[in-house]
Copies of this chain bind each other. A is one copy, B any other.
Amino acid sequence: MLSMQLPNGVEWTAHCLVVLEQFGSTQPVPSAALAEAYGLSPTYLNKHLQKLAANGLVTSTPGQAGGFALARPAQEITLADVVDALDGRGPIFRCTEIRCQGLFKERSAEIKASGPCRIASAMRQAEDAWRSSLSQVSITDLAAGVDAHSRQQLSEFIDRKHPEGEHQP
């Protein structure tokens, strides 16, 4: 069992942000509709979406016609933002400065002065490469991969969930 795995909320909310891209920043999409569209748990999805709201990626409008909408342009929201919102910004590798423990405890200051631990530096560099790759992919990029048929299905489905909405006759 892999201990280093992203929470499933990352997958769920990344797909939801792509849906929200389609509906813009002015038409809130209810959390329940997003859950139903993808067959997800409404309770858990709502919890995940609240994390996006707390991190300024989406706005949350309460009430009957309420829901979630993008808080800023889709090209300014990246997968790195989604990961940060769901899983925090902490490092993947925790350095506990082992090189200054045990035998080396008394020389701790001298060892630290010689520069950062190479193991920690290499781990951080790899994390930077991962995060940099994620930060180059925006919601706009992801939305471009959704086929026209799926977009139409979503549009009709969300409009039905907003009977008072402007898209309804």
Contact = CB atoms under 8 A, between A and B. Distances in A.
A109 interface: no
A85 B126 CA distance: 17
Number of copies: 2
Which secondary structure dominates where chain A touches chain B?
helix
A113 B91 CA distance: 37
* Number of chain A interface residues as a range: 35 or more
Interface stretch (A21-29, A51-59, A69-77, A128-136): A128-136
Contacts of A91: 2
Given A8-B94, A119-B142, A153-B103, A127 B130 contact: yes
Contact of A4 (B5, B18, B101, B117): B5
